[in-house]
Amino acid sequence: MDYIFQISLKSVLTLENGMKEEVKGENLLSFTLVYPREGVKSLETIKKLPLQRGKEYALDQISFSDKLLFKESIQGDSALQVSLTAIERPQKIDHMINDAIKAGVMAGTGFITGGTGITLLMAATKTVVGSLFDLAKPKDKVTVIGNIDFPMNNQLREGELILNLTVPRKTVLKDKKIKNGKEIISTTTLKKGFGVAKLVLDVKKIPRFNIAIPAIV
């Protein structure tokens, strides 16, 4: 039987959230379904979350729209790509969205704002885009400190899905602070493969009953 998968975010436990403690911003979590079905090259949901080192951010008291990542059918093999950034300024994501729309690489875009920030639903129209982060201009580049590429198909089980994010490459984080009128720069080095976060997703399978789902164009 074919299913529609309702995938929601339950919690995020971070061992590292990126330094930049003096920057007013939030971490960005990108979830991208790559080629989930015919006519859709990719769908992405981005969450802005105020994550803290060593603490779990639970979404059990958050509204459904803020927890929801996807409500989508999966045909054949697909993949869920997840990326976690260091703390970033809110303006960066706004610039990336506007640039992608102007360049004509995005379609079917919808926004839901709420307590956990912005949700962006995106379909790539020209190329398969791993994430909106890949489209960022140099001034808007974000620092990805953790990711995972999780294979998916129509046999995905219901219940909790635990994803462990690791550092994709050696990353040096710099933090500038002013103390007693002097600028102090501290650094943290994240080694490739270091586990930075554990995500818990909730997966529900809804029978399709042969309901046609139009492609995003």
157 inside domain:
yes
CB atoms within 10 A of CB 145: 28
Closest CA to 80 of 194, 168, 163: 163
Q: Please give the helix or strand (H or E) that residue 109 lies within, else none.
A: strand 106-114
C-alpha dist (Å) from residue 113 to 19, 44, 64, 180, 181: 26, 15, 12, 39, 39
**pLDDT at residue 107 in the model:** 58
Give the span between the Cα atoms of 151 and 149, in whole angstroms. Answer: 7
**pLDDT at residue 202 in the model:** 96
- Distance from the Cα of residue 123 to its chain's centroid: 14
152 inside domain:
yes
Total domains in the chain come to 1
170 inside domain:
no
118 inside domain:
yes
87 inside domain:
yes
Domain that holds residue 44: 3-18+25-164+194-207
Interior/surface letters 103-133, b for 16+ CB within 10 angstroms, e for the rest: eebbeeeeeeeeebbbbbbbbbeeeebbbbb
Parts of the chain with a pLDDT under 70? 1, 19-23, 103-130, 209-217
**pLDDT at residue 127 in the model:** 58
The per-residue pLDDT for range 146-205, each reduced to its tens digit, is 999 999 998 899 999 999 999 999 988 877 777 777 777 878 888 999 999 999 999 999
Give the span between the Cα atoms of 152 and 36, in whole angstroms. Answer: 9
**pLDDT at residue 201 in the model:** 97
Contact 188, 19 (CB under 8 A): yes
CATH of the domain at 131: 2.60.40
212 inside domain:
no
**pLDDT at residue 187 in the model:** 84
Give the span between the Cα atoms of 217 and 211, in whole angstroms. Answer: 19
**pLDDT at residue 215 in the model:** 58
Residue 20 has, within 13 A of its CA and on its CB side, a CA count of 20
Give the span between the Cα atoms of 53 and 203, in whole angstroms. Answer: 26
**pLDDT at residue 214 in the model:** 58
Question: pTM higher than 0.75 for the full model?
Answer: yes
Residue 93, SS3 per DSSP: helix
DSSP structure string for 12-44: EEES---S-TTS--BEEEEEEEEEEETTEEEEE
Residue 120 has, within 13 A of its CA and on its CB side, a CA count of 25
215 inside domain:
no
**pLDDT at residue 119 in the model:** 62
185 inside domain:
no
CB atoms within 10 A of CB 203: 17
